[in-house]
Amino acid sequence: MVNTAFLAGAALLAAVTTGLTLWPLWRSGKRGIWATLVGTLVVATLGLYQWLGTPAALQPQASATAPQTIEDGIAQLQSVLQQNPERMDGWVLLARSQLEVGKVADAAESYQRAVKLAPDEPGLLVEAAQTRAQAAPDFLFDDTAAQWLQHARSLAPDNERAIWLIGIVQRQRGQNDDAARTWESLLPKLEPAAAAALQEQIDIARGRATTESSSAAPTTTAGSANAITVTVTLAPSLAARAASGKDTVFVIARVPGGPPMPVAVERHPVRGMPLTVTLDDADGPMPTQKLSALKEVEVFARLSASGKAMRQEGDVDSAPVRVSLPAETPLEITLGQP
């Protein structure tokens, strides 16, 4: 029998988690894509229950006990896939479920297994690419993720998510004209509000200031508006750890009380300490969430052993500092300071 508490909790967790991950799409007006992704993950969670709760989904000798929590379901599904590694649908379900509980790196690996089994599924390629970027240092799309997106678009030229993300890849790599052309192909497919939001991104990609930016600050480019200069030093207590030279330092700006996705982030080796950086729109992993458009951010530094921007066990974070924008003075942060 279906566990009502599990289903309710699963739906809520899916909505909350997906909302955080895809907040930039909602803010930019692309609510259609946002809603589609939320729905996909809610269905995935319920599918996890049904897939494992149905005896036919398991081997004849296996237990058909339905999972009581998402974590139970993930563990059972992993066990099933050890015996049936050719089940592409199982790997996709595992990846979506891992995403919901915050295991982004595990989800990226599960998606990669699914892509190997079904390399010509456009929807799968897009999901896998997006998750791979979410799990990567700096939240950037690497060559593999970019290739998956291009292949998805070659298979499904009208896939809006593929087109949108390809434009983000191009913006991240400084291919601004290409990004503008990519996104322009989306404009006829969007509702007026979403099209206007996307047109703003196209204008920024081409280096053209919007009318509002031009009138408000004619001598300031969109990329440099609200830039923050940050100097990061290490407390003496971290000197021995830093001496190994293996750790990475991230300087991160995010929306106070908002989603965990940074609005600007820079990555540097610890051997370069002390470090002075300038965070601006060029450091944004998602061009839809611009530092230049904000009035306040929360800035902190992270010493990471894994080299990943997302917090891992053993990482050291500085105390976050709220900064009103534009910042009037440089910010000083000490990692390891109580």
Give the model confidence (pLDDT) of 241-261 as tens digits.
888 888 999 999 999 987 777
Q: Note whether 44 and 138 are same-domain residues.
A: yes
Q: Which residue in this structure is represented by tokens 């709220």?
A: 322
Answer yes or no: is 216 within a domain. no
Q: Note whether 158 and 272 are same-domain residues.
A: no
Mean pLDDT of 310-316: 83
Here the CATH number for the domain that contains residue 200 is: 1.25.40.10
145-154, 169-178, 218-227, 297-306 — which one is most confidently predicted on average? Answer: 145-154
Answer yes or no: is 96 within a domain. yes
pLDDT at 216: 43
Residue 293 pLDDT level (bands cut at 50, 70, 90): confident
Q: Note whether 144 and 24 are same-domain residues.
A: yes
Residue 60 CA to residue 250 CA, distance in Å, equals 49
Give the model confidence (pLDDT) of 81-94 as tens digits.
999 999 999 999 99
Q: Note whether 294 and 194 are same-domain residues.
A: no
Q: Note whether 187 and 85 are same-domain residues.
A: yes
Q: pLDDT higher for 302 or 66?
A: 302
Q: Note whether 171 and 37 are same-domain residues.
A: yes
Domain boundary among 152, 172, 205: 205
Q: pLDDT higher for 208 or 138?
A: 138
Q: Note whether 181 and 247 are same-domain residues.
A: no
Amino acid, res. 106? D
> Picking from 159-163, 288-292, 293-297, which range would have the lowest pLDDT averaged per residue?
288-292
Residue 138 pLDDT level (bands cut at 50, 70, 90): low
Query: For the chain, first and last CA: distance in Å?
Result: 51
> Picking from 159-168, 235-244, 317-326, which range would have the lowest pLDDT averaged per residue?
235-244
Q: Note whether 164 and 265 are same-domain residues.
A: no
Residue 185 pLDDT level (bands cut at 50, 70, 90): very high
Helix, strand, or coil here: 303? strand
Residue 268 CA to residue 291 CA, distance in Å, equals 20
pLDDT at 47: 54
Answer yes or no: is 214 within a domain. no
pLDDT at 314: 86
Q: pLDDT higher for 273 or 47?
A: 273
Closest CA to 312 of 255, 248, 256, 257: 248
What are the distances in angstroms from CA 208 to CA 180, 211, 280?
Answer: 11, 9, 17
- Provide the domain limits for residue 162: 4-205
Residue 195 CA to residue 188 CA, distance in Å, equals 8
Answer yes or no: is 22 within a domain. yes
Give the model confidence (pLDDT) of 186-243 as tens digits.
999 888 888 887 888 888 778 743 333 344 443 444 445 678 999 999 999 988 888 8
State the DSSP code for 137.
G
Considering its fold, how many domains does the chain have in total?
2
Percentage of residues in the chain with pLDDT exceeding 70? Answer: 74
Q: Note whether 262 and 174 are same-domain residues.
A: no
pLDDT at 136: 81
Answer yes or no: is 221 within a domain. no
The pLDDT of residue 18 is above 80: no
29 strand-pairing partners: none
Q: Note whether 121 and 200 are same-domain residues.
A: yes
Q: pLDDT higher for 123 or 190?
A: 123
Q: Note whether 131 and 186 are same-domain residues.
A: yes
Mean pLDDT of 321-327: 94
Answer yes or no: is 217 within a domain. no
> Picking from 22-36, 166-180, 272-286, 315-329, which range would have the lowest pLDDT averaged per residue?
22-36
pLDDT at 288: 65
Residue 23 CA to residue 64 CA, distance in Å, equals 37
Helix, strand, or coil here: 300? strand
Give the model confidence (pLDDT) of 30-72 as tens digits.
444 444 444 555 445 555 545 555 434 444 444 446 667 888 8
Percentage of residues in the chain with pLDDT exceeding 90? Answer: 37
pTM above 0.85, yes or no: no
HEC string of 232-285? EEECHHHHHHHHCCCCEEEEEEECCCCCCCCCEEEEEEHHHCCEEEEECHHHCC
Q: pLDDT higher for 5 or 45?
A: 45
Tell me what the pLDDT averaged over the chain comes to.
Answer: 78
Q: Note whether 312 and 186 are same-domain residues.
A: no
Answer yes or no: is 34 within a domain. yes
pLDDT at 225: 64
The pLDDT of residue 115 is above 70: yes
Is-contact 128 152, C-beta < 8 A?
A: no
What residue spans of the chain are helical by DSSP H? 4-21, 23-27, 31-53, 70-83, 88-100, 104-117, 122-135, 143-155, 160-172, 176-184, 192-205, 211-216, 239-243
